[in-house]
Structure 1
């Protein structure tokens, strides 16, 4: 009977909405795909819940916004005061099965439960008053803290990206992919230490964000030395981790991979260089004496035939030395991808280690930018000819 009851609760559906119950001890309600009118202020969300006969205050609402104040369609509402938490006493040997079964359906007496509406009616009322395309998800305490942390990291992302573009950190950044959304900086730092015994400051872990504000599965890790970089890359390859950090192995596994596939550069001469054309390749590691004429002769001999070459100098791993980098521009994406394949063949022929950078696809490392016409997403103009992310 109790199994059917919880199965019914976990499959509450109304119109195009879906309410997912993760567990019985809930702390917050995450609303997604909300309209900008509802997220104009916290008062609008409070009024939305007042239609459901649920009283909340402004401090119970947290809206995800960009650094320009633009809402991203998400809001978290604390629900401790409007939904009961159940008192489980299965650990107590003095409780018999009947008492334990009763505790499954009875709210704790110590809770200040002011709403007399049943749990099912509260959820149905919330779903009924949400917009048709919106969704609601119940969140536990860990998910609430992750959401608040993600909102903070989204606001500080430009500063973190500028820190990544420090020339001294060019060869000390590791790209980790496959991190689930339930992982924040602290959780990923703990996983890295458990696997590699390399201590990483949580502040040196920067997650990528999607255009809708969702945390991506890709994170950049700033290591203390090149030795730590090589250790992480050698040990974190298809490493299984819990998909839901707070539940351990109960909710399946995800797999982490590490590589040196992302390089960050920042210089006034590189401003808007990627806006000029999306058919470019960035190559690095050439001798400091190589100039544009020599590099063009080399690329023509390799049958690359770039339309334009821009030389850029960076500091080498060896102190007191520099190396030459270049942006190779082509006339179409087909030629760009062909050259990437040839560069990979050259990398294998010259026996360049996999963890050493040789070429990459340049993109603007930012999420939002603001102009006179409003806020825009930086990477939108890259999606025309790319059917899948370019990662080699």
Structure 2
């Protein structure tokens, strides 16, 4: 039996590779983006309560109605956008699923989607598995800003969508109001969709306001906006997220969703519907994580790595061009084996493997974990 692969060039993700290597060499894993500290005990208790109270059967295909209402309330409070809970929100098994389903809802063979590299590694396979073409544009190194003049020059009659991601994974860069102005100018009067990956919505630092597409009605009418509870509440293994889109777009989204997932984990949805009534956990998240970023920065000053500042997400990038010419994958492998610290080589986020001599570190860890990791790097 022969399978003619839809993804012939795709292997195992770098996250799995580096995490397996971290286990093999007993390395501290600063590669894959997950916290090593406990999540809210109150939220755990609410899940347990939902189970013992009988909330273990299917909920509505689109998500628990009460949870969707809570999400709508949150969106209105944060972004002054009164979206319709029934028509415009679908709960999904994670943010990556929401992105995939958004793309699958709109793409036809031969369509083009503009993607910015370095890019979260699911984007291009999601596009290609739908028979579409990823038009790759490199962010400007080392600031990782979007070169909007190149975006404008890349628009063709086949351009179906633009994927934006802020705060950005893997770089921690964030969009500013000037970026929104440029995006508006490019899509005005076109049929171009926007896929907005906002899973790090609350992980934004330095007093910068998150430029959610939900703030802008003219952009929202053409957008699928994707979120993750896992990043917000330190429970990445729960794989629960949601998508917000205008009713006509969400109608198509749900056509795909109903035959792929149908319904997400019920007890967690009951728990989240209750927990979302407290805004403090998500409103305080940016400050909490910025403290970790700043502490990690202070530790890394002892090393020869050069900081490339992050303003959001779990991640910060560091250049090693000042002390080594080796490929980033080689250095990441050597650090894992010889120093016992796993990172992610940034070339993995470029389809052609662009190597700027940069490694990505995850700082969403306990202080003791970060201290031990830097101690090992200094040995």
Q: Fold match, TM over 0.5? A: no
Larger RCO (CA under 8 A, 6+ residues apart): 2
Q: TM-score, normalised by structure 1?
A: 0.21
* Higher Rg: 1
Specify which structure has the higher proportion of strand: 1
